A and B are shown apart, each in its own frame.
Chain A
């Protein structure tokens, strides 16, 4: 009788000075669903890469079916029966689902090697049998790219089962699914469990963990922070371990002195577009000289709210900036009215990564004096403005015409702030300002935000780091499923914030 289907013992792995895994041990038995949760960057992905043979651990070992193994590469892990379903599906979109099912391991009717004939009848019979066993229906002749996402995901799972997978790793499998599809997936995963397959379920949605898993392990800063049977814990307890003391508070906390209301939002709603979260009837205000933090589990509508306020996403409801109605206006008009925007996606939206540092620094001001005289660009003025802006935030760079992508993450983000703050906006919408930024950069960016606030600016701040929100914010609003469920003072107990974040079963 096997007791450990897949296990890790004291895994350590570092990338240069970054200690991604610092002695992690966990295991999953046959017929068990083990959830692994933690914030972005906690070390979940590194652990999974080790378990799949993609990375070699610095020390520690991996156990499969009660035997210690050493993986030379991903193929070894696959041969041991370890299969992973990634967030981004790996199906070939232009092949049929059946072709995808057998790709790489086709049943052969006649001949061998390059001359072999594929036995499509037997392939389809196998597919049907596997689908029946886990209780789903699949139209095998459909083009994979045209099939609904959850069907693609199911086929990927069936494909792994067909190849003899005994340990299934699911990497945030619900991120791309609608609620109804999530239920179907969970039913399917439970049936697979009954067949004796071991399942590692990676997620940061606590509601899903509570409803699906048998055990849960929380990883924080590369270490095991908590591990328990689901029956013996609660969502709040898990949430508190995910967020608790995630990072020591290093910079001093200094609160602002709020003045009159700058941003007033009344009854804002927005529809879902692909892979986004709808917003329901949101009302709040942000005052001058105040940083308002927006907390929530990732994917609960925070980013969508920021986009709606900046005019990048269509919404209904009233948005007023210092008494001026901006409802229905697009991004260009809202920017002109005094809303600055720091995108959560620095490389794809916050910057034009292939363009020069100079262009990225002056973008948005390129149509007004002194850079443009109405007809053409005054290159010397453009250069002067860029230099001024960059030196104000002490951005370190080589030359103005270098690609902005050549800068470090922290300096890239400073370029974004240099551009956004230079035009003295009344309101700054800031999302994930320190993602991918080193420690010194983080302190500098926090300083920039505080200075802006102290000069009378209003800031709405989204961050997945609760510490960051608590250090910077004067008030914290909590968002769950596209609604604001509560507002707390910045000194509120983190457990209280965590409790609000997982309200209504939390998650999607």
Chain B
């Protein structure tokens, strides 16, 4: 069973239960479940444009899921990917409008790099605290999320506030810093390709590199790792920093590819949805791909579905909520195991 789940089918059971419950709800309000589900399927995947919209919504989740998985498989309970996403996003956007536009094609990669460096520095702090001083990483990373919201909120409402806009946004980035759109007018941008590349790199790292092996061992058994000569401290810090790189890149891609600016409320809980994806996928690359696309489809179908039917948007929330419950169960299972080990 667990092997089967690890191959990326961890979503099947939660999804089936979620669909059954929503079918009951639909029957109760006098709608046909089959019609509704087929409408959702059409809205999510029915045409190239709709598919693009689904993949676009899945893009930030791919980043945050990979960022979470890097830490979770090493037994590091990092719940601070959302903070790295915000910090990396703001850093990349600020670079995107304040660096000279004359840098041309080099501007976008430079901004992405800046976003990843900020994300890495952000999560290095709790990683160092955990490795050296055994500061509980759940507490420190959770707190850092609030700090990230507060700092970025202050900056976007103060020093970096756009004078041309009535909303709480920064000025737009230079055109040269924008990530190209893959299928205009859909918002799917080349950040999606970057996310897929990172997913592949993650798969390679976990299976084919010494550091990836060490990460898994540290996650399974720290005493064993120490005994065979692995530095547990270094592995923990590396996992946090890599998680920050990926999380920061996610925010940068979202800012440069989707919004072209930083706004108040930049992350719609992407860090946490990504965590749910990683949990249900048991950190497997294929599972995270499926999960991110699933959540992306729900989000993009949900917004259009109420335009074309009497189904309220809440239905999507019910489905998402039930799948989330399973993610929370998985989280609880891991945390019980973690406490038993301590």
Q: How long is the Cα–Cα vector from A348 to B207 in the complex, in angstroms?
A: 23
Q: Does A177 lie at the interface of the complex (its beta carbon under 8 Å from any beta carbon of B)?
A: no
What chain B residues lie within 8 Å of A366 (beta carbons)? 210, 213-214
Q: Does A156 lie at the interface of the complex (its beta carbon under 8 Å from any beta carbon of B)?
A: no
Stretch at the interface among B19-27, B174-182, B220-228: B220-228
Partner of A352 from the list B207, B210, B220 (CB cut-off 8 Å) is B220
What chain A residues lie within 8 Å of B228 (beta carbons)? 335, 363-364, 419
Stretch at the interface among A60-68, A375-383, A443-451, A498-506: A375-383
What chain B residues lie within 8 Å of A371 (beta carbons)? 210
Question: Does B209 contact A377, Cβ atoms closer than 8 Å?
Answer: yes
Number of chain A residues whose Cβ lies closer than 8 Å to a Cβ of chain B: 29
Q: How long is the Cα–Cα vector from A419 to B217 in the complex, in angstroms?
A: 16
Q: Does A341 lie at the interface of the complex (its beta carbon under 8 Å from any beta carbon of B)?
A: yes
Q: Does A355 lie at the interface of the complex (its beta carbon under 8 Å from any beta carbon of B)?
A: yes
Partner of A359 from the list B209, B217, B226, B227 (CB cut-off 8 Å) is B217
Question: Does A376 contact B208, Cβ atoms closer than 8 Å?
Answer: yes
What chain A residues lie within 8 Å of B224 (beta carbons)? 348-352, 363
Tell me how far the C-beta of A112 lies from the nearest C-beta in chain B, rounded to whole angstroms: 35
Q: Answer whether A312 and B226 are a contact pair too, CB < 8 Å, given A352-B217, A354-B220.
A: yes
Q: Output the nearest chain B residue to A363 by Cβ-Cβ distance.
A: B228
Question: Does B209 contact A376, Cβ atoms closer than 8 Å?
Answer: yes
Q: How long is the Cα–Cα vector from A372 to B213 in the complex, in angstroms?
A: 11
Report A260-297 CB contacts with B as 1/0, cut-off 8 Å.
00000000000000000000000000000000000000
Q: How long is the Cα–Cα vector from A375 to B209 in the complex, in angstroms?
A: 7
Report B234-265 CB contacts with A as 1/0, cut-off 8 Å.
00000000000000000000000000000000
Q: How long is the Cα–Cα vector from A354 to B337 in the complex, in angstroms?
A: 13
Q: Answer whether A367 and B210 are a contact pair too, CB < 8 Å, given A312-B226, A349-B224, A355-B217.
A: yes
Question: Does B209 contact A332, Cβ atoms closer than 8 Å?
Answer: no
Question: Does A352 contact B209, Cβ atoms closer than 8 Å?
Answer: no
Q: Does B327 lie at the interface of the complex (its beta carbon under 8 Å from any beta carbon of A)?
A: no
Size category, B interface: 20 to 34
Q: How long is the Cα–Cα vector from A131 to B207 in the complex, in angstroms?
A: 59
Tell me how far the C-beta of A374 lies from the nearest C-beta in chain B, rounded to whole angstroms: 9
Q: How long is the Cα–Cα vector from A332 to B231 in the complex, in angstroms?
A: 8
- Which A residues, 52 to 89, have Cβ-Cβ distances below 8 Å to chain B? none
Main secondary structure of the interface of B (DSSP, over half): helix
- Which A residues, 419 to 452, have Cβ-Cβ distances below 8 Å to chain B? 419
What chain B residues lie within 8 Å of A310 (beta carbons)? 227
What chain A residues lie within 8 Å of B142 (beta carbons)? none
Question: Does A355 contact B220, Cβ atoms closer than 8 Å?
Answer: yes
Question: Does A372 contact B210, Cβ atoms closer than 8 Å?
Answer: yes
What chain A residues lie within 8 Å of B208 (beta carbons)? 376-377, 379
Question: Does A348 contact B223, Cβ atoms closer than 8 Å?
Answer: yes
Q: Output the nearest chain B residue to A351 by Cβ-Cβ distance.
A: B224
- Which B residues, 272 to 314, have Cβ-Cβ distances below 8 Å to chain A? none
Question: Does A353 contact B221, Cβ atoms closer than 8 Å?
Answer: yes
Partner of B217 from the list A335, A363, A372, A376 (CB cut-off 8 Å) is A363
Partner of A331 from the list B204, B220, B229 (CB cut-off 8 Å) is B229
What chain A residues lie within 8 Å of B217 (beta carbons)? 352, 355, 359, 363
Q: How long is the Cα–Cα vector from A312 to B224 in the complex, in angstroms?
A: 11
Question: Does B227 contact A341, Cβ atoms closer than 8 Å?
Answer: yes
Q: Output the nearest chain A residue to B212 by Cβ-Cβ distance.
A: A377
Q: How long is the Cα–Cα vector from A43 to B160 in the complex, in angstroms?
A: 75
Q: Output the nearest chain B residue to A373 by Cβ-Cβ distance.
A: B210
Q: Does A336 lie at the interface of the complex (its beta carbon under 8 Å from any beta carbon of B)?
A: yes
Q: How long is the Cα–Cα vector from A419 to B228 in the complex, in angstroms?
A: 10
Partner of A350 from the list B207, B213, B220, B227 (CB cut-off 8 Å) is B227
Q: How long is the Cα–Cα vector from A359 to B210 in the complex, in angstroms?
A: 11
Q: Does A315 lie at the interface of the complex (its beta carbon under 8 Å from any beta carbon of B)?
A: no
Tell me how far the C-beta of A304 lies from the nearest C-beta in chain B, rounded to whole angstroms: 15
Q: Does B324 lie at the interface of the complex (its beta carbon under 8 Å from any beta carbon of A)?
A: no
What chain B residues lie within 8 Å of A302 (beta carbons)? none
What chain A residues lie within 8 Å of B209 (beta carbons)? 375-377
Question: Does A359 contact B221, Cβ atoms closer than 8 Å?
Answer: no
Interface hub of B207, B226, B229, B231 (most chain A Cβ within 10 A): B229
Q: Does B149 lie at the interface of the complex (its beta carbon under 8 Å from any beta carbon of A)?
A: no
Question: Does B210 contact A377, Cβ atoms closer than 8 Å?
Answer: yes
Tell me how far the C-beta of A115 lies from the nearest C-beta in chain B, rounded to whole angstroms: 32
Q: Does A343 lie at the interface of the complex (its beta carbon under 8 Å from any beta carbon of B)?
A: yes
Tell me how far the C-beta of A359 lies from the nearest C-beta in chain B, rounded to whole angstroms: 7
What chain A residues lie within 8 Å of B223 (beta carbons)? 343, 345, 348-349
What chain A residues lie within 8 Å of B213 (beta carbons)? 359, 366, 377
- Which B residues, 87 to 123, have Cβ-Cβ distances below 8 Å to chain A? none
Q: Does B230 lie at the interface of the complex (its beta carbon under 8 Å from any beta carbon of A)?
A: yes
Question: Does A331 contact B227, Cβ atoms closer than 8 Å?
Answer: yes
Tell me how far the C-beta of B127 lies from the nearest C-beta in chain A, rounded to whole angstroms: 19
Tell me how far the C-beta of B2 lies from the nearest C-beta in chain A, rounded to whole angstroms: 10
Q: How long is the Cα–Cα vector from A377 to B214 in the complex, in angstroms?
A: 12
What chain B residues lie within 8 Å of A355 (beta carbons)? 216-217, 220-221
Tell me how far the C-beta of B177 lies from the nearest C-beta in chain A, rounded to whole angstroms: 32
Q: Output the nearest chain A residue to B225 by Cβ-Cβ distance.
A: A352
Tell me how far the C-beta of A331 lies from the nearest C-beta in chain B, rounded to whole angstroms: 6
What chain A residues lie within 8 Å of B231 (beta carbons)? 332
Q: Output the nearest chain A residue to B231 by Cβ-Cβ distance.
A: A332
What chain B residues lie within 8 Å of A375 (beta carbons)? 209
What chain A residues lie within 8 Å of B221 (beta carbons)? 348-349, 351-355
- Which A residues, 314 to 357, have Cβ-Cβ distances below 8 Å to chain B? 331-332, 335-336, 341, 343, 345, 348-355
Question: Does B229 contact A364, Cβ atoms closer than 8 Å?
Answer: yes
Question: Does A336 contact B229, Cβ atoms closer than 8 Å?
Answer: yes
Q: How long is the Cα–Cα vector from A354 to B217 in the complex, in angstroms?
A: 9
Q: How long is the Cα–Cα vector from A372 to B229 in the complex, in angstroms?
A: 15
What chain B residues lie within 8 Å of A372 (beta carbons)? 210
Q: How long is the Cα–Cα vector from A341 to B229 in the complex, in angstroms?
A: 11
What chain A residues lie within 8 Å of B204 (beta carbons)? 376
What chain A residues lie within 8 Å of B229 (beta carbons)? 331-332, 335-336, 364
- Which B residues, 152 to 184, have Cβ-Cβ distances below 8 Å to chain A? none
What chain A residues lie within 8 Å of B216 (beta carbons)? 355, 359
Q: How long is the Cα–Cα vector from A377 to B209 in the complex, in angstroms?
A: 5
Partner of B227 from the list A349, A353, A367 (CB cut-off 8 Å) is A349
Q: How long is the Cα–Cα vector from A504 to B221 in the complex, in angstroms?
A: 39
Can you add 12 more A-B contacts, CB < 8 Å, to A366-B210, A376-B204, A376-B209? A332-B231, A341-B227, A345-B223, A350-B227, A353-B220, A355-B221, A363-B217, A363-B224, A364-B228, A375-B209, A377-B207, A377-B208
Can you report 21 A-B residue pairs in the complex whose CB atoms are below 8 A from each other?
A310-B227, A331-B226, A331-B229, A332-B229, A336-B229, A343-B223, A349-B221, A351-B221, A352-B217, A352-B220, A354-B220, A355-B217, A355-B220, A364-B229, A366-B214, A367-B210, A372-B210, A376-B208, A376-B209, A376-B210, A379-B208
| Residues of B in contact with A (beta carbons under 8 Å apart) | 204, 207-210, 213-214, 216-217, 220-221, 223-231
User: Closest 10 CB pairs between A and B?
Assistant: A332-B229, A364-B228, A363-B228, A349-B223, A352-B221, A335-B229, A352-B224, A352-B220, A367-B210, A376-B208
